[in-house]
Amino acid sequence: MPAQAKVAKVEARTSQPASPPLTERQEARRRRILHASAQLASRGGFDAVQMREVAESSQVALGTLYRYFPSKIHLLVATMQDQLEHMHGTLRKKPPQGETAAERVAETLMRAFRALQREPHLADAMVRALTFADRSVSPEVDQVSRQTTLIILDAMGQENPTPEQLSAVRVIEHTWHSALITWLSGRASIAQVKIDIETVCRLIDLTDPKASGKPS
């Protein structure tokens, strides 16, 4: 199923309307802004992302930047969604090889985790922004959640998830996010993160209608 169709399905399940499409020029400007944000965060983390510097680096007026992203938190959460989208594309080119859906999801999330591990300053900036986000950032946070859901559903090989499966996916997302926080704060090793991810992914088997004998 095309990614757009899966997005529509996930949005329908979560009652989140799609945003109006940007023009080609607006999209190009938005991509420059996100690229500048990621570059600054990669070099110096959360504190290095200053809106004036982002505007200068992306060659847009400061007022224009604020029309796209009202605050640094909005910008960095949107940057996380953009990074996850790139990861999704990379993962789809080389799908996970696990025999079960749980194994494939665990492998996929660990590959995504290791990609973030290679850019620790960027990862820290994005996760801090996600943690600080209030209700005003809900649309951007929802986009991060939807992108993560799509990554997990692709790894599962699941195009029509049941409500129980979507609940399991949400718990897996929460665990992955928590694992990022504990690793970034130095409170968990990569080995522990792997164990936690593999453990929570077993929920996939428990919510599989075929395994439980329920009609799909």
Helix axes 72-93, 51-58, angle to 10 degrees: 50
Where b means 16+ CB within 10 Å and e means fewer, 175-198 reads bbbebbeebbeeebeeeebeebbb
Task: State the pLDDT at residue 98.
Answer: 87
Name the pLDDT band for 18 (thresholds 50, 70, 90). low
**Token pair recorded at residue 75:** 């910008």
**Residues 51 and 43 sit within 8 Å (Cβ to Cβ):** no
- What length does the chain have? 216
Task: State the pLDDT at residue 159.
Answer: 85
Name the pLDDT band for 184 (thresholds 50, 70, 90). very high
Q: For residue 93, give Cα distances in angstroms to 62, 84, 196, 215.
A: 37, 14, 26, 32
- How far the first Cα of the chain sits from its last, in Å, is 18
Q: What angle do CA 62, 66, 69 make, to 5 degrees?
A: 135
Amino acid at 44: G
* pLDDT of 7 higher than 70: no
Task: State the pLDDT at residue 4.
Answer: 46
* pLDDT of 82 higher than 50: yes
**Residues 84 and 112 sit within 8 Å (Cβ to Cβ):** yes
Rounded Cα gap, residues 182 and 136, in angstroms:
25
Task: State the pLDDT at residue 14.
Answer: 44
**Token pair recorded at residue 210:** 């075929």
Task: State the pLDDT at residue 158.
Answer: 87
pLDDT in tens, 19-32: 678 899 999 999 99
Q: How far, rounded to the nearest angstrom, does the alpha carbon of residue 9 sit from its chain's CA centroid?
A: 17
Whole-number average pLDDT of the chain: 89
pLDDT mean over 189-211: 90
Higher pLDDT, 17 or 93: 93
* Residues in Cβ contact with 1 at an 8 Å cutoff, skipping those fewer than 6 apart: 159
Rounded Cα gap, residues 16 and 185, in angstroms:
32
pLDDT in tens, 84-126: 999 999 999 999 998 999 999 999 999 999 999 999 999 999 9
pLDDT in tens, 27-81: 999 999 999 999 999 999 999 999 999 999 999 999 999 999 999 999 999 999 9
pLDDT mean over 196-200: 96
Task: State the pLDDT at residue 212.
Answer: 52
Task: State the pLDDT at residue 20.
Answer: 73
Rounded Cα gap, residues 28 and 169, in angstroms:
32
